[in-house]
Amino acid sequence: MNDQQAPPAAERQALIDLAAVRHNVRHLVHLVSPARVMAVVKADAYGHGAEQMARTALEAGASWLGVAHISEALALRGAGVSAPLLAWLHTVDSPFAEAVAANVDLGLSGWELERVVEAARELQIPARVHLKIDTGLGRNGCPPDQWEAFVGRALAYQEEGLLRVVGIFSHFSVADEPDRPETDEQLERFRTAVAVAEDAGVDHEVRHIANTPAALSRPDSHFDMVRVGLGLYGLSPFPGQAPAELGLRPAMTLKTSIANCKEVPAGQGVSYGLRYSTSEPTTLALVPLGYADGVPRVGTGGPVWVDGTVYPVVGRIAMDQMVIDLKTTGIAGTGKDLVGREAVLFGGVGMPSVDEWADAAGSINYEIITRISSRVERKYTDSEAATA
């Protein structure tokens, strides 16, 4: 290898701007203060890289980390991340003992309590647990009518020195639709559950229920901590409201370069199923990203930025590639050779947005970023460092 050569550019990359993440974290920390921010870095930090995002969020003022699976928490501990860290979704096969040994806090809804206590007893290390109340979402969490008994069981184990009830928490169901009344109902049930626990003798450190939409729109839901995922990555949880309106900056840019470009006559069919056909002589450009890279197959019509122009994808999105028709914008000259030109599916200011891809695919921005596959290289940049 020649030392003088710059490393080859990634052919397909998700470029993540650490400065944008720091900005988002600082913004959220400021917004919810004195409540603390738990940076939710589950699912590889929504596709952004869990370890990098955990470190960046902590550096910018987040004080806790949250993940769904214990395995995700153990990976962070293995990477040397020592901040308070909560995992909340378990199965009978979850490595509870490893979690307790690694000082990972565990969110518990019911049956897990005895498993965790068993692990703590064996290790002679008290487990750190957060008790979850189902205030209306109907997924995990203890039903309200069993809450008092659940709290009582946990407190009995706490007296034995087998655990410490660190937190009480819940999760919203419709916080992204601020006009709906259910959020108020959930808050009311949460306050009641906290009061029941406190009356029983729970001396918690943190009460938490807010996700990104609640952190942004419901100050009365912040309690001691908010659990923020989407907002860290600079996306909006509210349909029709852009990140900039919320003071957020999208962190990820998904890009590649045009792999082929050719002139075709009218009537040229495009991609599997020939669902698109050119209406006049035009130029087709090939974008080498497809559903194996995490671009939804149903996302035909999604935007691709090339050379200052945004083109909709035409025809079916295939496993590895998709096509844009330069005539669809009405400004493409034939004979244009775009091979090698940067093609951006979504990014920051001036680029198409994750939300446009979500709309094209009938999905939400969360799903688009989370599903970018391992075939796309993650790269990190720091726009503040570059311009400092």
Ligand X SMILES: *Cc1c(COP(=O)(O)O)cnc(C)c1O
Active-site residue flag, 46: no
Indicate whether 234 belongs to the interface with ligand X (CB under 6 A).
no
Q: Which residues pair with 282 in a beta bridge?
A: 264
Name residue, tokens 């309690």: 223
User: Closest Cα to residue 275, out of 321, 327, 245, 313?
Assistant: 313
Q: Applying CB under 6 A, which of residues 212, 217, 236, 282 lies at the interface with ligand X?
A: 212
What is the nearest approach in angstroms of ligand X to the Cβ of residue 269? 41
Q: Applying CB under 6 A, which of residues 15, 20, 28, 40 lies at the interface with ligand X?
A: 40
Number of residues that bind ligand X (CB under 6 A): 13
Window contacting ligand X (CB under 6 A); options: 25-33, 69-77, 229-237, 312-320: 229-237
Please give the residues from 76 up to 105 whose contact with ligand X meets the rule CB under 6 A: 88
Q: Applying CB under 6 A, which of residues 162, 194, 228, 254 lies at the interface with ligand X?
A: 228
Q: Which C-beta is closer to ligand X: that of 215 or that of 270?
A: 215
Q: Which C-beta is closer to ligand X: that of 68 or that of 125?
A: 68
Give the separation between CA 126 and CA 162, rounded to whole angstroms.
Answer: 4
CB 55 within 8 A of CB 30: no
Window contacting ligand X (CB under 6 A); options: 2-10, 78-86, 230-238, 378-386: 230-238
Window contacting ligand X (CB under 6 A); options: 150-158, 194-202, 224-232, 324-332: 224-232
Q: Which residues pair with 87 in a beta bridge?
A: 67, 106
Q: Is there a binding annotation on residue 297?
A: no
Q: Are strands 252-257 and 64-67 parallel, antiparallel or unpaired?
A: unpaired
User: Closest Cα to residue 206, out of 224, 228, 186, 183?
Assistant: 224
Indicate whether 211 belongs to the interface with ligand X (CB under 6 A).
yes
Active-site residue flag, 132: no
What distance, in Å, lies between the first and last C-alpha atoms of the chain?
32
Alpha carbon 153 to chain centroid, angstroms = 34
Q: Applying CB under 6 A, which of residues 67, 154, 230, 343 lies at the interface with ligand X?
A: 230
Catalytic residue among 42, 132, 255, 327: 42
Q: Is 1 exposed, middle or buried (0-12, 13-18, 19+ CB in 10 A)?
A: exposed
Q: Which C-beta is closer to ligand X: that of 38 or that of 119?
A: 38
Q: Is there a binding annotation on residue 1?
A: no
Indicate whether 47 belongs to the interface with ligand X (CB under 6 A).
no
**What phi, psi does 116 have (nearest 5°)?**
-70, -40
Give the separation between CA 297 and CA 295, rounded to whole angstroms.
Answer: 6
Name residue, tokens 């900005």: 23
DSSP helix/strand/coil, 28:
helix
Residue list, annotated binding site: 139, 319
What residues act catalytically? Answer: 42, 272
Residue list, annotated binding site for substrate: 139, 319
Residue ranges in contact with ligand X by CB under 6 A: 40, 42, 68, 88, 171, 211-212, 227-231, 237
